[in-house]
Amino acid sequence: MNKCKKALSMLVGLVSITSMTACNSVKATKKDGSLLEYTTSDGTKVNYTTNDLLINYFEENSSSTSDVYNIVYEAMLKKYFDKEANKTTLTELERKAKDDVQKKKDEAQDNADSNKTKYKDEWEKILDSELSDYKEERRTEKVLYNKYLVSAMKTKLSDIFYDEFKDWNWKSKYTSDTEDYKLQEEFNIFSGNNGYLEKRLPYHVSHILVKVDAASNTIYNGEISSDDAEQIYNVVETLAHGGIKFGTVAEDNSDDSSKTSYGNLGIMDIATSFVNEFKLGIYIYDSLFNNNTQVKEAISNDPFNMNEDTTSYFEKLGVNFIPYQAVTDLYKYRGTTLKPDNTQVNEGNASYYPRNILFNKYFNNHNISFIVKESSDIKNAETLKSEGKTGNDGNTYYSDLDQNGKWTNGSAINDDSLKGFKEITFKNGTKKNVLCDEKGNPIIVVRAGTSDYQGIHFIVIERDGLEKEKDGVSLEQYYAADTPYLTDGSINTNFPLDSNGQPLNTYINNTISDYNTYKSRAESLKTVIKDFDSTYDERVYEWLLQTSDLGTSNIVVKYGDKEVNWTEKINKYVYQQIEKNASSYTISEDTWEEYIEYLENQEAQRATKLIPETCAVGFSSGDGYEIGGVCYYAK
C-alpha cells in the first residue's frame, strides 16, 4: 500500500461521520500534536508527521480519492442494508456470504483429500488467492466473509437501481415537474440524459454477406470466382424484382451465421466492433447523405465526432453508385475467360477477365455504394483510341470513363418488373432510383474484410439510432427490453402496444418467432443496457446521496489553517469518472483517420491502375486488345 493510500485510510478513520459507523477497521491516534500513528484496514501500522500527510492528501491525486470513495461507498452499502426495511434482504445476503465462504472451505477439504495434504494448508492457499490484495495477517475467514458480503451488497443494490430506472415508458408515468420525473431523467439507464439510447446510439442492422476470393490487399485488381459473381447477381437480382423480403434473401444467400436469423445482426452501437467500412459507412451515410429530417437534426450535435476535416473529406468523396446493368453484366460474363476461338487474352491475365474488371470497378470499393436502376452506358473501345493516356504501369487508361474509379450516371432502365427500386433524394440533392428492401430502406453496399473473411456487405438499417420516431414507434418503444407475449400466450401489457392493444413492431419482435426467442432477445438486450456504463457503481452512489439519509456529512479534515473537504473531492472524483467514461461514447479521431488513410490509398491506386470497363465489353470481340490497343497488356 502506497504512502498516499495509507494517509487517506487514516484520515477517514480520524473524522466522525455517521455514514461510516460500519467501517470499523481503521484506527488512528494523534501523538504529541505532530506525529500520527495509525493502523490501516489491511493491518499496516504507520507513523507520519502532519506535514507528510498534508503533502499527500492536498494533492489532486485521483487514485487516492478513489480509495476514500471505495471506503465511503462500502460504509453506505452496509448502512443501507442495515435499515429496518432492508433487514430481510440483509439476512439473505449474509446467508449467501456465509454459503460462499463454506463453499471455499469445502473446496479446501476436497483439495486436502485429493492431494493428501492438511486442510489448514489448503485453506490458507485459498485465503491467499482470494485476499491477495490484503496483508498476510489480514487474510482470515472473517475478512473473506466481509469481502463476499460487500460484493453481494453491490450486486443487490445494482439490481435495485436497475429495477428503479429501467422503464422505457417513464416519461408517460411521471409528471415532468415532479421529483420522480427528475430522478428518472438523471438516472434512467435506458433513456435518461445519460442512458443507453442517448450515449450509445443503437442502430438495428441486418445484412447479407457474400464472401469473395479477392484478397484484402487487392484494392484495384481483385480476382473473384465465377461462383462469387453469380452469388452477387443472385442477391441483387432477387431484391431488384421485389416481392421477397430482405431476410429471406439473407437466409438463402448470406455467407455467415446471420442467415439463420434472416440476416439480423442485432444492435450496432458506438461500442460495437464492426469493420470500419460497415460501421463508419453507416455513420457517414447518416451524417452527410441521409435526407431524413430527424436524422439531420440529430447530426447537428456531431454524435460521431466527425471534425471539420473529416466531414470535408467525405463530402468531397461522396457515395458510389453501381448501375444495375453492371450487375447483370457481371453474371453474363461470369465464366468468360477466353475469346470465342478459345484463345487467351493478354496471355491469360485474370485481371482482364470481364467479371474481375466489373468487380473491381463497382464492388471492390471500400467507400459506401448504392445500386441504381440505370445502364452503364460504356463507350466502345474503338471510339476511344485517341483519348488514351498511359498509367504508371505502362497500360492505357481513360479518366473520362472511370472518373477515379467512380461511375456517376447512366440512362434510366425502363423495366416495370424491377419493383425493388425506389426514388431516394440524398441530402446533397442527388436523386436516384435506389435498390431498397421491402420496407423502402435503401441498401448500402460496402466491400470489407478481416483476417477471417473478404466480402461484400449488403446492409439495411432496420432502425436508425438518430430517428426518434418511425412508423409510429418511438425509439424508446422500439428498444423496450420486454416480451410481446407472456408464457401463456397472452399479450404482455408492459410491452409497447398500439391503440388497439396489439404489440408494436419493435427490435424484439422485428422477426416473428416464439416466446422463448423473444425472451432470449429481451434478456440479451437487458444485459446490453445494464452493462453499457462502466461507471454503474458511481451512478448508484450518486443516487444514494440524493435519495436517502446515507449521504455523508461534510468530511473536512483541518490542520492549522489548512483543510480539505473530502466530500467535495469524492463528488468531483465521481463526476470525473463519469466524464472520462463518456469518451467511450464516441468514435475516436484515430479511427476516422485510419479509415481516411485507407480510402486515400485506395483512390490513388484506382486513379491510375483500374482497368476500364470498356475492356470487359470488348473482351470477347478483342476490341481494344490488339497490340497497342487500350486494353493490351504484355508481361
Phi-psi category of 223—alpha, beta or left, where left has phi over 0 and alpha has psi -120 to 50? Answer: beta
Q: Residue 556 — pLDDT band, cuts 50, 70, 90? A: low
Q: In the predicted model, what is the mean pLDDT of residues 246-267?
A: 96
Give a yes or no: residue 192 inside a domain: no
Residue 466 has phi, psi (to 5 degrees) of -105, -5
Which three cell numbers, joined as nine digits, stand for 279?
460501421
The three-class DSSP label of residue 33 is: coil
Q: What is the pLDDT of residue 18?
A: 32
The predicted-structure confidence for 149-183, as pLDDT tens digits, reads as follows 999 999 999 999 999 999 999 999 999 999 999 99
First to last CA, the chain: 70
Nearest to 284 by CA among 259, 266, 310: 310
The predicted-structure confidence for 426-453, as pLDDT tens digits, reads as follows 999 999 999 999 999 999 999 999 989 9
The HSE-up count of residue 77 (CA atoms within 13 Å, CB side) is 26
Per the CB < 8 A criterion, the answer to whether 581 and 40 are in contact is no
Per the CB < 8 A criterion, the answer to whether 449 and 209 are in contact is no
Give a yes or no: residue 122 inside a domain: no
Q: Is the pLDDT confidence value at 462 over 90? A: yes
70: which residues sit within 8 A by CB, 6+ positions away? none
| Residue at grid coordinates 439480423 | 264
Is the model more confident about 380 or about 26? 380
Which three cell numbers, joined as nine digits, stand for 231?
452469388
Percentage of the chain beyond pLDDT 90 is 62
Q: In the predicted model, what is the mean pLDDT of residues 73-78?
A: 85
Q: Is the pLDDT confidence value at 391 over 50? A: no
Question: How far apart (Å, rounded) are the C-alpha atoms in residues 299 and 303?
Answer: 6
Percentage of the chain beyond pLDDT 70 is 83
Count of positions (residues) in the chain = 635
Is the model more confident about 459 or about 390? 459
Q: In the predicted model, what is the mean pLDDT of residues 309-332?
A: 95
C-alpha to C-alpha distances, 32 to 28, 45, 50, 467, nearest whole angstrom: 13, 17, 11, 68
Give a yes or no: residue 279 inside a domain: yes
Give a yes or no: residue 375 inside a domain: yes
562: which residues sit within 8 A by CB, 6+ positions away? 54, 58
Give a yes or no: residue 336 inside a domain: yes
Q: What is the CA radius of gyration of the chain?
A: 33
Question: How far apart (Å, rounded) are the C-alpha atoms in residues 129 and 178?
Answer: 49
Give a yes or no: residue 444 inside a domain: yes
Q: What is the pLDDT of residue 376?
A: 87
Question: How far apart (Å, rounded) are the C-alpha atoms in residues 138 and 144?
Answer: 9
Beta strands in 398-525 (DSSP E): 421-425, 431-435, 444-449, 454-463, 469-470, 473-474
Read off the pTM: 0.83
Q: What is the pLDDT of residue 46?
A: 42
Nearest to 203 by CA among 542, 462, 440, 585: 462
Q: In the predicted model, what is the mean pLDDT of residues 523-534?
A: 91
Looking at the DSSP bridge assignments, the partners of residue 370 are 321
Q: What is the pLDDT of residue 22?
A: 32
Is the model more confident about 397 or about 106? 106
Is the model more confident about 538 or about 553? 538
The predicted-structure confidence for 361-388, as pLDDT tens digits, reads as follows 999 999 999 999 999 877 544 444 444 4
| Residue at grid coordinates 452501437 | 269
The predicted-structure confidence for 400-422, as pLDDT tens digits, reads as follows 444 445 677 888 999 999 999 99
Widest CA span of the chain, in angstroms? 108
Q: What is the pLDDT of residue 176?
A: 92
Question: How far apart (Å, rounded) are the C-alpha atoms in residues 275 and 265?
Answer: 13
Q: Residue 60 — pLDDT band, cuts 50, 70, 90? A: very low
Q: What is the pLDDT of residue 413?
A: 95
Q: What is the pLDDT of residue 74?
A: 85
The HSE-up count of residue 73 (CA atoms within 13 Å, CB side) is 24
The per-residue DSSP string of 93-129 comes to HHHHHHHHHHHHHHHHHHHHHHHT--HHHHHHHHHHH
The three-class DSSP label of residue 48 is: strand
CA torsion through residues 137, 139, 141, 145, sign: positive
Give a yes or no: residue 133 inside a domain: no
Q: What is the pLDDT of residue 367?
A: 96
Nearest to 230 by CA among 362, 120, 327, 326: 327
**Which one-letter amino acid corresponds to residue 418?**
L
Number of domains in the chain: 1
The three-class DSSP label of residue 421 is: strand
Give a yes or no: residue 29 inside a domain: no
Q: What is the pLDDT of residue 559?
A: 54
Q: Is the pLDDT confidence value at 234 over 90? A: yes
The predicted-structure confidence for 113-144, as pLDDT tens digits, reads as follows 999 999 999 999 999 999 988 777 788 999 99
Q: What is the mean pLDDT of the chain?
A: 84
Q: Is the pLDDT confidence value at 551 over 90? A: no
DSSP one-letter code for 61:
-
Q: Is the pLDDT confidence value at 253 over 70? A: yes
**Which one-letter amino acid corresponds to residue 416?**
D
Q: Residue 63 — pLDDT band, cuts 50, 70, 90? A: low
The per-residue DSSP string of 377-395 comes to -PPPGGGGTTS-EE-TTS-
C-alpha to C-alpha distances, 98 to 104, 201, 253, nearest whole angstrom: 10, 42, 55
The three-class DSSP label of residue 210 is: strand
Q: Is the pLDDT confidence value at 4 over 50? A: no
Looking at the DSSP bridge assignments, the partners of residue 463 are 204
Question: How far apart (Å, rounded) are the C-alpha atoms in residues 249 and 239?
Answer: 8
Q: Residue 2 — pLDDT band, cuts 50, 70, 90? A: very low
CA torsion through residues 500, 502, 507, 512, sign: negative
Residue 447: give the domain boundaries.
205-467
224: which residues sit within 8 A by CB, 6+ positions away? 212, 213, 214, 355, 356, 359
Task: Give the angle subtended at the CA of 626 by the CAs of 625 and 631, to the nearest 5°.
Answer: 30
